[in-house]
């Protein structure tokens, strides 16, 4: 019997990390990279010392309550952990860690990319060209809107939001406003030249680009509701690189179809990997398959961050990134 802790990675990770982990732990890989269903996740709770899931795995009370549980650590690959019932984990004495910091700039890059793609109609232009419909340059062809001098309204003002603010202000010349659970310190506000807007209603009504950076979960479910979409300017752009359920997708389809807002750049969806069919039919949206942290470098850094948590945990040291 192996003395090394038994670890299950629920999806394929970069080869560097899989190699690193297999040198140190008794690692089981999900060779086919097919998401595990609830029964297999529940069974894994009894066969391993640590489970390393991702956003595609629902680690709920049913999974966590498996009888004869062996798992003592859920080492999540990702910063968001709304797919894990942290309260139940705590109750069952199971530790949980995540991977903050290492994906901050990569995810912020994608938020900025989506802002530019929507404001400059890049997706629409590319589709026109590929369809052979481009008839040539002309002064009034596919005009977008400039972002310089416009106000970026961030909902949530954590690491990724602040990185987005930095890139948008210094790179694009945007003004910065934000709303968050707590007001940031004066020093952080000064660093980003950021104005705190006390109410989400006011932020969505007054900002030009609204970018979501809040956690998922019950507290933020449909935070961008039909009513808040109605408050937005006709020129407003909505960016979501946070979690799909933060936006009422059906209401968004309606607002975009009726051209009540300019457009939306979405990297996350309410029922991934399903996408509302109404979105697929629209030109004023850019739709990406949850690529926020998807660079070679970042995905390896995320895996190594899980490795650091596993190493700390099994050496009896405090977790580097505890969430429970
Ligand atoms: C995260 O880290 O939460 C991303 O959304 C998926 O990895």
- Residues 207-264 have pLDDT tens digits of 999 999 999 999 999 999 999 999 999 999 999 999 999 999 999 999 999 999 999 9
Residue 1 has pLDDT above 50, yes or no: no
Q: How many helices (H) and strands (E) does the chain have?
A: 14, 12
> What pLDDT, in 10s, does the model give residues 36-61?
999 999 999 999 999 999 999 999 99
The mean predicted confidence, pLDDT, of the chain is 98
Give the ligand 1 atom nearest the CA of 268: 5
How many Cβ atoms from other residues are within 10 Å of residue 136's Cβ? 5
> What pLDDT, in 10s, does the model give residues 63-90?
999 999 999 999 999 999 999 999 999 9
Say whether 246 sits in a helix, a strand or coil.
helix
**Rounded mean pLDDT of 178-185?**
97
Nearest CA to ligand 1 atom 1: 78
**Using CA atoms, how far apart are residues 28 and 5, in angstroms rounded to an integer?**
11
**Using CA atoms, how far apart are residues 235 and 115, in angstroms rounded to an integer?**
13
What is the percent of the chain with per-residue pLDDT over 70, rounded to a whole number?
A: 99
Structural contact between residues 281 and 260, judged by C-beta atoms closer than 8 angstroms: no
Q: Find residue 176's DSSP bridge partners.
A: 152, 194
Cα-only R_g, the chain: 21
The three-point CA angle 322-215-94 to 5° equals: 30
CA torsion sign for 50, 56, 60, 66 is negative
Q: What pLDDT is attached to residue 160?
A: 98
Give the ligand 1 atom nearest the CA of 81: 3
Asked whether the bond before 273 is cis by omega within 30 degrees of 0, the reply is: yes
Q: What pLDDT is attached to residue 2?
A: 55
Q: Which of 14, 53, 55, 215 to mutate to test the pocket of ligand 1 (most atoms within 8 A of CB)?
A: 55
Nearest CA to ligand 1 atom 2: 78
**Using CA atoms, how far apart are residues 212 and 277, in angstroms rounded to an integer?**
22
Orientation angle between helical segments 159-166 and 104-119, nearest 10 degrees? 50
- The residues annotated as belonging to the active site are 243, 272, 290
Q: Where are the beta strands (DSSP E) in 53-137?
A: 73-75, 95-97
**Using CA atoms, how far apart are residues 37 and 94, in angstroms rounded to an integer?**
20
**Using CA atoms, how far apart are residues 145 and 137, in angstroms rounded to an integer?**
18
> What pLDDT, in 10s, does the model give residues 282-313?
999 999 999 999 999 999 999 999 999 999 99
Nearest CA to ligand 1 atom 4: 78
| pLDDT band at 169; cut points 50, 70, 90 | very high
Q: Which of 103, 111, 291, 321 to mutate to test the pocket of ligand 1 (most atoms within 8 A of CB)?
A: 103
> Torsions phi, psi of 15, nearest 5?
-60, -35
């Amino acid at each position: 019997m192996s003395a090394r802790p038994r670890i299950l990675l629920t999806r394929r990770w970069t080869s560097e990390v899989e190699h690193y982990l297999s040198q140190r732990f008794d690692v089981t890989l999900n060779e086919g990279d097919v998401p595990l269903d609830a029964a297999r996740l529940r069974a894994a709770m009894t066969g391993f010392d640590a489970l390393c899931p991702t956003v595609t795995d629902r680690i709920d009370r049913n999974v966590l309550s498996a009888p004869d549980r062996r798992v003592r650590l859920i080492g999540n690959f990702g910063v968001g952990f709304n797919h894990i019932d942290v309260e139940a984990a705590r109750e069952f004495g199971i530790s949980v860690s995540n991977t903050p910091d290492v994906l901050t700039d990569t995810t912020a890059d994608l938020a900025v990319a989506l802002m530019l793609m929507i404001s400059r109609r890049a997706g629409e232009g590319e589709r026109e060209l590929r369809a052979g419909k481009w008839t040539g340059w002309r002064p009034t062809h596919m005009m977008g809107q400039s972002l310089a001098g416009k106000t970026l309204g961030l909902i949530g003002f954590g690491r990724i939001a602040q990185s987005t603010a930095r890139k948008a202000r210094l790179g694009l010349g945007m003004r910065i406003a934000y709303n968050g659970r707590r007001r940031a310190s004066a020093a952080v506000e000064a660093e980003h030249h950021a104005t705190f807007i006390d109410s989400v209603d006011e932020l969505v009504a007054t900002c030009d680009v609204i970018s979501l950076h809040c956690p998922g979960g019950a507290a933020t479910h449909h935070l961008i509701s039909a009513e808040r979409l109605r408050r937005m300017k006709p020129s407003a752009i909505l960016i979501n690189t946070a979690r799909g359920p933060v936006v009422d997708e059906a209401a968004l389809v309606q607002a975009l179809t009726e051209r009540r807002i300019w457009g939306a750049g979405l990297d996350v969806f309410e029922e991934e990997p399903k996408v509302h069919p109404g979105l697929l039919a629209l030109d004023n949206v850019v739709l990406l398959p949850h690529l926020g942290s998807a660079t070679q470098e970042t995905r390896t850094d995320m895996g190594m961050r899980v490795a650091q948590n596993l190493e700390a945990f099994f050496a009896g040291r405090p977790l580097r990134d505890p969430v429970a």
